[in-house]
Amino acid sequence: MTELEHKQDRAPVPAGWDYAPAPEARDIVQLEERYGLFVGGELVEPRSGEWFPTLSPATEEPLAQVALAGAEDVALAVDAAREALEGEWAKTTPSERAKYLYRIARILQERSREFAVLESLNGGKPIKESRDVDLPLAAAHFFYYAGWADKLEYAFPNRKPRPVGVCGQIIPWNFPLLMLAWKIAPALAAGNTVVLKPAETTPLTALLFCDVVRQAELPPGVVNIVTGDGSTGAHLVKHTGVDKIAFTGSTEVGKAIQRELAGTGKKLTLELGGKAANIVFDDAALDQAVEGIVNGIYFNQGHVCCAGSRLFVQESIYEPALAKLKRRMATLRVGDPLDKNTDVGAINSRMQLEKIQELVEAGKDEGAEIYQPPCRLPEKGYWFVPTVFTNVAQSYRIAQEEIFGPVLSVLTFRTPDEAVEKANNTPYGLSAGVWTEKGSRILSMASKLRAGVIWANTYNRFDPTSPFGGYKESGFGREGGLHGLGPYLRFDE
Ligand code: NAI
Ligand code: MG
């Protein structure tokens, strides 16, 4: 270590830094008491007659009642999507389709503060992330796919691309609006119609999006949104009028959907979990790498399928790396998602909190060493302190299973080959990170790591032009880029 690094390691953590509260105003969001289902361009009462509350995970305050769609409701939404597919949407020229997508993108930009506040309120993520990441990326997705809508013949020359038909799309709660954008933008660009089901804990931005769809004057039935739980999702998967299912969520449900669809001829893409390796070599710029480690696992409370949840540090720099990481962790501000200074917000649901707690207990029982910075948590709501485990063996549950929370497992390696072998020792294969000064090492690692997305000297970077998706139990099919259009098209071979 250099002398400067020694000095920095001894410098006290600035624990006395208190930030004045900087809450984002909530009044831009107008909540309804209850929300129906968006079918054929209208919000309608559910035939099921069932409703459920949705709340703020930071305060447990109920925000609204949301419809729980049953089989009949799902069928009505699929019928509306079919009618639009064969009716007005079929007559809409590709360049007109592009105009609708551009319109949606611009409306999302105009209303971005409203969406960002609602996203943080309903999902618990820090406002600085919903404002600076989720919203800009959601709009960028619509802009990007708008550009392809009238160029499909060029994108897939001589293959006569046609829409697949009615697409059933099921999304999770970690990036509610962004996952909606990932699903709806390419589907519409390719000329399909959709029935989308948001996750049960985060339906509100999808319901606000219905308003955007109306504002953009999209023909009724092109986008339908049915709220509900896993049973609603299952009805959508089973419905014979659906031509394609796109699912993002747990590996367990992904496998069940794949079994259900086997032999039906329905198209399927799955984006499932991950247990990514973030690999730091001894020649990496260490401060930068520490920022990348923190971003990799504590961004969005670790509710990220591509989170860098397994940190591999080269043995020769293990001690300085850990010292710097712990110092950095002590500066993370955990608390009110609507406060602009907050780094780590609320855990999305009680269920998810319990899952994190269970795995953290397992880590302690198996013999790993836990570190959590001193941290005062709010009394109400669902919270978990940013956590790092050292002394982790490859076989421990915390090194094998997806925790989907702010919990990092640290392992070490000596040689690049050992890093590759350990990193690939997982049933998943969604993403990985490599930190090194050597370009040749980046290329060699990228070719050996079995992961769909590999970041070099950065982490959790997303761009609509870049395909995203996994290997092995992380699923199949790509979202984003040209690759993301393929699953929404049929070709005359
Ligand atoms: P989940 O897979 O149950 O939920 C995701 C979506 O699928 C939700 O909209 C849900 O209503 C729906 N769904 C649930 N059961 C279904 C079924 N049988 N048929 C059709 N749709 C169904 O995920 P959950 O329970 O919320 O989280 C469990 C774990 O899954 C997390 O702890 C995390 O490890 C992982 N996960 C991974 C995500 C990713 O981005 N890859 C996102 C969410 C969860
Ligand atoms: Mg589940």
- List residues bridging with 251 in a β-sheet: none
pLDDT the model gives residue 15: 54
- Does residue 134 have its Cβ closer than 6 Å to ligand 1? no
Alpha-carbon torsion (13, 17, 21, 22), positive or negative: negative
Counting from 1 in the atom list of ligand 1, the atom nearest the Cα of 272 is 41
Q: For ligand 1, atom 21, name the residue with the nearest CA.
A: 233
Q: Is the pLDDT at 5 greater than 70, yes or no? A: no
Distance CA 144, CA 140 (A): 6
Say if ligand 1 is within 6 A of residue 303 CB: no
CB of 126 closer than 6 angstroms to any ligand 1 atom = no
- From the alpha carbon of 254, which atom of ligand 1 is closest? 2
CA-CA-CA-CA torsion for 342, 343, 348, 353, nearest 10 degrees? -110
- CA proximity to 135, closest of 80, 65, 205: 205
* 309: confidence class by pLDDT, cuts 50, 70, 90: very high
Structure-model confidence comparison of residues 447 and 4, the more confident one? 447
For atom 29 of ligand 1, which residue has the closest CA?
A: 250
User: Which of 343, 360, 249 lies closest to 299, judged by CA?
Assistant: 343
Residues identified as active-site: 271, 305
**Using a 6 Å cutoff on CB, does residue 475 contact ligand 1?**
no
Q: Does residue 100 carry a pLDDT above 70?
A: yes
Range 280-294 average pLDDT: 98
Work out the number of other CB atoms within 10 angstroms of the CB of residue 18. Answer: 7
Ligand 1 pocket residue status of 172, Cβ below 6 Å: yes
404 lines ligand 1 (CB under 6 A): yes
Q: Where are the beta strands (DSSP E) in 296-430?
A: 310-314, 369-371, 387-390, 407-413
Which of 3-7, 64-68, 190-194, 300-304 is the least confident region?
3-7
Q: Which of 175, 204, 238, 250 to mutate to test the pocket of ligand 1 (most atoms within 8 A of CB)?
A: 250
Confidence of residue 4 (pLDDT cuts 50, 70, 90): low
Query: Quick one: which ligand is closest to 468's CA?
Result: 1
pLDDT at 463 over 70: yes
Give 194's strand partners: 167, 223
In degrees and rounded to multiples of 5, residue 235 shows phi and psi of -60, -40
**pLDDT above 60 (res 410):** yes
Q: pLDDT category, 16, cuts 50, 70, 90?
A: low
Mean pLDDT, rounded, for 164-179: 98
Atom of ligand 1 nearest to the CA of 352: 32
Residue matched to tokens 């509100």: 204
Q: List, in sequence order, the alpha helices (H) in 150-305.
A: 152-155, 176-189, 204-215, 230-238, 251-261, 286-298
pLDDT classification of 10: cutoffs 50, 70, 90: low
Least confident window among 15-29, 348-362, 392-406? 15-29
pLDDT at 492: 78
Q: Is 193 helix (H, G, I), strand (E, B) or coil?
A: strand
The letter for the amino acid at 256 is A
**pLDDT value at 13 more than 60:** no
pLDDT band at 8 (very low <50, low <70, confident <90, very high): low
Spatial distance between the Cα atoms of 223 and 166, rounded to a whole number of angstroms: 10
C-alpha–C-alpha distance, residues 375 and 101, integer Å: 44
441 three-state secondary structure? helix
Separation of 261 CA from ligand 1 center, angstroms?
A: 17
Q: How confident is the model at residue 9 (pLDDT cuts 50, 70, 90)?
A: low
Both tokens of residue 93?
């020229």
Cα(232) to centroid(ligand 1), Å = 12
* CA-based R_g, the chain, Å: 23
**Closest residue CA from atom 6 of ligand 1:** 172
Which among 407, 403, 401 has a CA at the least distance from the CA of 389? 407
The predicted pLDDT at position 19 comes to 82
Half-sphere exposure of 101 (CA within 13 A, CB side): 31
Mean pLDDT (whole number) for 6-31:
75
Report how far ligand 2's centroid is from the alpha carbon of 101 (Å).
Answer: 31
CA of 234 to the centre of ligand 2 (A): 12
- Tell me, using a 6 A CB cutoff, whether residue 230 lines ligand 1: yes
In the prediction, which pLDDT does 267 show?
Answer: 97
* Percentage, residues of the chain above pLDDT 90: 95
Residue 253 CA to ligand 2 center (angstroms) comes to 7
> Stretch 108-136: mean pLDDT, rounded?
98
Check pLDDT > 60 for residue 328.
yes
Report whether residue 174 contacts ligand 1, using a CB cutoff of 6 Å: yes
Q: What is the mean pLDDT of the chain?
A: 96
> Which of 60-64, 137-141, 339-343, 489-493 comes out lowest in average pLDDT?
489-493
253-271 pLDDT, tens digit per residue, is 999 999 999 999 999 999 9
User: Residue 14 Cα, ligand 1 centroid: separation in angstroms?
Assistant: 39
* pLDDT band at 493; cut points 50, 70, 90: low
